[in-house]
Structure 1
Amino acid sequence: MNAQARPVDETLVRLLPKAEVHVHLEGCFDLADLLELAKAAGVGLPGPAATLFDVDTHDVPAEAPGAPKSTLSAFLRFLDWEGGLVRTPEQAARAAYRFAARESASGVRYADVIVNPTHWGAWHGRLGELFAAFAAGLDEAEQDGLAVVNLCASLLRQQTPAAAAELVDWLVEARPVRVVALSIDGDERAAGRTGPRFADAFRRAADAGIRRTVHAGESSGPQGVWDALDLLRAERIDHGVRAAEDPALLRRLVDERVPLGVCPRSNLALGLYPDRASHPLPALLAAGVAVTVNTDDPAAMGYRLEAEWAACADAYGWGLAEVAELARASVRASFAPPELAASLLADIDAFEAGRA
């Protein structure tokens, strides 16, 4: 049996050079991290330690009376609780370092990690200190031979245009180290249509040479992806799976070579689709869309990137050629420096040739 015919398992995926482009730092705290941080902060847990990541059962208050209830909104409130435990620069640097270590253990050589300052409640008014601490941790990680990681500073959909302008002003003026992109995330269904509200902020970011990646087409339909392209100048769409419902949108994604940062297991966990057979990932690939497979919030959801790629390979009949192309797509979709991207693509080619 040749290498192409062998099942794609987690070991092969770990060995395959790749990037990850849709993963949130807030979703990468392991249970031990949270227990240590909660003790240091003198904060009680929102639920039993053994079921800490079962966020639907937690006593975490809704954002406002009458706020829409959903698995996603409950999960976002849990991320607020997690981020609020980080109180010191040393803790923030350690969180970034451990993220790079987690990525490296999965064979990731480069990652764009999303950080939404609204989840880090102890740092309001100290944004520069927070991102400097993250950069320090990532610098140390790179010096130790771990994955290269850059940051995507993210808005929350419920924020105001003024808050968006404030973040973009800071990005343009301060040019924080390792911040390469502006992002926006949050529950589309709860926030309603948000593209028009943030169009000016994203335009200013684009004019200043800041890259743009936008969560869209997750809990809402294809309209969010259209807005991301038309109003927010998105270079990459995080999720984007609902684009499969609109043939015209699929053609545009293909024609403009806009990649999607898809997170299948996250979509299943948060109730978008009942199972992998129902997930539109194969349809997106068949339409010619540039698709990457990512983890979103892996620690909170209890899995790693190699497990997700192996599960997709098993569900959709992928072999070495398919996962090697998935790795290439991850690099091309990333905001990695050109020299690093070229090196990674060459390493992927060499890996595939060696295995085949």
Structure 2
Amino acid sequence: MNDDELRALPKAEVHVHLEGCFEVDTLVSLASNAGEALPRSPERLFEFTSFDGFLEFLSWSCGLVRSFDDASQAAYAYAERASAGGAIAADVIVNPTHWGSWRGDLTGLVSAFDDGFGAAEADGLATVGLCLSVMRQQSGAEAAELVDWMIEARHPRIVALSIDGNEKLSGRTGRRFASAFERAGAAGLRRTVHAGESSGPDGVIDALELLGADRIDHGVRSVESPEVVEALVERGTTLGVCPSSNLVLGLYPDMASHPIEQLRSAGVAVTVNTDDPAFVGTDLVREYRRCIEEFGWTDDTVREVAAASLAGCFQLERTASR
């Protein structure tokens, strides 16, 4: 399957952060408009020495988005990116803690994103749902406050509650957020959880058993436990795998060491995604291509993975039920 055929193959992206989609030129322009100095030269802007430094950079970059139009344009630009990779739909993660200029105005931020995504759909681009995310370092009360807002707002653009952040630093936080996730699920929201990346298989078990995860973001370290792999297969839980991101962050030294094919062969519903594509320097077609070249995926295998992404996409599920 060549790149044009890959691009034309219907697929969804189910693990991508809007915060990680700002290109250097866009950030330079936003910083200039905001009167903010760059933390380093444009050529080195995406150089990070730690995961925490990366998260701090996300807050700096998103803090440059200060107007309705800025936020709307960021949403539209993602839909363009997704469509360029052949995605017909996407679930995009947004963590409100990064968007400092909108603190206290989540309604305004979501409205701006909805405006951009709606305009993109009207132009024939990918349909996009929002997954609002709790940061792992937050308290249970803060997570409950976000869920309260989501339930009250019932915004049609919002498809799921998410949780992300530094698993290794935070430790096992499942019990802290279990109540908030239970309430979200009872209200009809889907739940997606970052686990099995910097945490091991225990993080995936917590996501499944304590947070009721409908989907796992990353989940690759499940491969370290046959019991966890079996649980994923039995439940039919989709993994939002991001191969290049795992390599860039040093989780695996090379594609040959990456377990996506081992998980797929075991019967886990794996999907291919970009995570933070601007910072990683990738796109959806490139991620599929890396797997094809490293693992010898046939056209049928590629179609199988693409079909899993469509089946695991909350936005497509939401639109189908309307």
- TM-score, normalising length: structure 2: 0.97
3-state secondary structure, aligned to 1:261: strand
Amino acid in the other structure paired with 2:254: D
- Computing the radius of gyration over CA atoms, which structure comes out larger, 1 or 2? 1
Instruction: State how far apart, in whole Å, the 1-side matches of 2:124 and 2:265 are.
Output: 37
Q: Structure 1, residues 126-148: CA drift from partner, whole Å, max 9, x if none?
A: 11000010001111110011110
Amino acid in the other structure paired with 1:189: K
Map residues 158-307 of structure 1 onto 2, 5 A cutoff.
158-307=137-286
* Mapped pair 1:30 → 2:23: yes
3-state secondary structure, aligned to 2:156: coil
The corresponding residue for 1:15 is 8
Instruction: State how far apart, in whole Å, the 2-side matches of 1:136 and 1:336 are.
Output: 16
The corresponding residue for 1:141 is 120
Instruction: State how far apart, in whole Å, the 2-side matches of 1:302 and 1:137 are.
Output: 23
* Mapped pair 1:122 → 2:115: no
Instruction: State how far apart, in whole Å, the 1-side matches of 2:282 and 2:241 are.
Output: 15
Question: Does structure 2 retain, via aligned residues, the 8 Å contact 1:331–1:341?
Answer: no
Instruction: State how far apart, in whole Å, the 2-side matches of 1:340 and 1:125 are.
Output: 29
Cα displacement (A) at 1:73? 1.9
Map residues 19-98 of structure 1 onto 2, 5 A cutoff.
19-56=12-49, 71-98=50-77
Cα displacement (A) at 1:286? 1.4
Instruction: State how far apart, in whole Å, the 1-side matches of 2:222 and 2:316 are.
Output: 29
Instruction: State how far apart, in whole Å, the 1-side matches of 2:13 and 2:145 are.
Output: 28
Cα displacement (A) at 1:52? 1.0
Instruction: State how far apart, in whole Å, the 2-side matches of 1:278 and 1:105 are.
Output: 28
Q: Structure 1, residues 100-120: CA drift from partner, whole Å, max 9, x if none?
A: 011111111000000000111
Question: Does structure 2 retain, via aligned residues, the 8 Å contact 1:97–1:141?
Answer: yes
Sequence identity (%): 57
* Mapped pair 1:108 → 2:101: no
Instruction: State how far apart, in whole Å, the 1-side matches of 2:241 and 2:113 are.
Output: 25
Structure-2 change in CA distance of 1:116 and 1:338 (3 Å)? closer
3-state secondary structure, aligned to 2:240: strand
Cα displacement (A) at 1:338? 4.2
- TM-score, normalising length: structure 1: 0.88
Structure 2: gaps (5+ residues): none
Amino acid in the other structure paired with 1:154: S
The corresponding residue for 1:332 is 311
3-state secondary structure, aligned to 1:181: strand
Q: Structure 1, residues 30-64: CA drift from partner, whole Å, max 9, x if none?
A: 111111110111111111101211122xxxxxxxx
Amino acid in the other structure paired with 1:286: S
Question: Does structure 1 retain, via aligned residues, the 8 Å contact 2:17–2:92?
Answer: yes
Instruction: State how far apart, in whole Å, the 1-side matches of 2:316 and 2:60 are.
Output: 33
Structure 1: gaps (5+ residues): 1-7, 57-70, 343-356
Cα displacement (A) at 1:72? 2.0
Amino acid in the other structure paired with 2:31: A
Equivalent pairs counted in the alignment come to: 321
Amino acid in the other structure paired with 1:313: I
Instruction: State how far apart, in whole Å, the 1-side matches of 2:261 and 2:81 are.
Output: 27
